A and B are shown apart, each in its own frame.
Chain A
Amino acid sequence: MAIIVNLDVMLAKRKMRSKELAAIIGITTANLSILKSGKAKAVRFSTLEAICKALDCQPADILEFVED
């Protein structure tokens, strides 16, 4: 995928665990790990909003475009 999810980096910067983030934004850890591993086909704006709110960051900090 050309879009890379840098959620790990942001989580490390904020010193937050995936479990905590999943609990805050209200999705299951399984779904969060799908998002982190890059298997996800799409992200809902509501989820993105919740992640940005929880990690206090911009969408650009989480998502990155890389040419294949």
Chain B
Amino acid sequence: MIPIFQTILYLTIFSLLSFAIYSIYKKKGLTTFLHGLFSLTFWGGILFLIIAISFTIFTDNDTIETSEKSKLYANTKNVPVRVFLSFNADTKLQFKPNSNLELSSNTDSLAMNSYLNLKTDNWVLSSAIFLNTYLSIIILIFIFFQLKSLFKILSTNLSFSLQLTKKINWIASLLIVWQLSKLIFSIIFGLYYGYVGLNKMQDQNINLSINPRLDIDFTIIIFALSLFVLGKLLKRAHEIQTENDLTI
């Protein structure tokens, strides 16, 4: 059977990439392409927000039973956790390679960042989970809106203007607020639960522990700080451009 969803996904990604590469070589092509892309993400984000909110309002437990075996989750009310799997020393990972390749690993533990769907009666924690989820989505929608309008300005007139500086400063501050709010909320979550484990593992060779983690991405903060500098640079460029325009 052909995996139809995968094929559609790959085709979409491939066509988007080829369109982007094609638009690089066209005059004003790339800005128009990015404007289209970000308006698509902006409206998609709004749609996602509406669906998530309607899941919360109209369903119990945020799930819809599509059939007896499968459920559709609203993948929103999530709490950042770090999942830690460790194996006994004599347990080895078994590989099933597609070819005649010999594969082995000395790894005795696996750590991964994940999110846990958490339900609680505590109103502070539940409102923190609610805020953490929807604040992130709303901030991201705002960022996509700013990006959309920024590339619209650039696609109509590719020059320095104070509007660009304003938009870039907005994007940078929204990114920092987003990351800081995620950090603050993950600290709050960490105060409420320490360690999550399972009472009994089916396979005694594996230990599983889930711990709260600080959900912060320093790359985004550094990127946002660089954006502030870029905004200042664009402001200076705008000043130089007006000076040049007023030199007769």
Contacts and interface: CB of A to CB of B under 8 A. Distances in A.
B247 interface: yes
Q: Chain B interface secondary structure, helix, strand, loop or mixed?
A: mixed
A9 interface: no
The 8 closest A-B pairs by CB, nearest first: A41-B246, A42-B247, A35-B248, A40-B248, A31-B248, A41-B243, A40-B246, A47-B248
Nearest to B247: A42
A19 interface: no
Q: Give the contact-size bracket for chain A.
A: 10 to 19
Interface in A8-46: 27, 31-32, 34-35, 39-44
Interface of B: 242-243, 246-248
Most buried by B among A35, A41, A47: A41
Most buried by A among B242, B243, B246, B248: B248
Interface of A: 27, 31-32, 34-35, 39-44, 47
A59 to B, nearest CB: 14
Contacts of A43: 247-248
A44 B246 contact: no
A42 B243 CA distance: 8
Contacts of A27: 248
A39 B246 contact: yes
Contacts of B242: 41
Contacts of A40: 246-248
Nearest to A36: B248
Given A34-B246, A47-B248, 19 more contacts: A31-B248, A32-B248, A34-B248, A35-B248, A39-B246, A40-B246, A40-B247, A40-B248, A41-B242, A41-B243, A41-B246, A41-B247, A42-B243, A42-B247, A42-B248, A43-B247, A43-B248, A44-B247, A44-B248
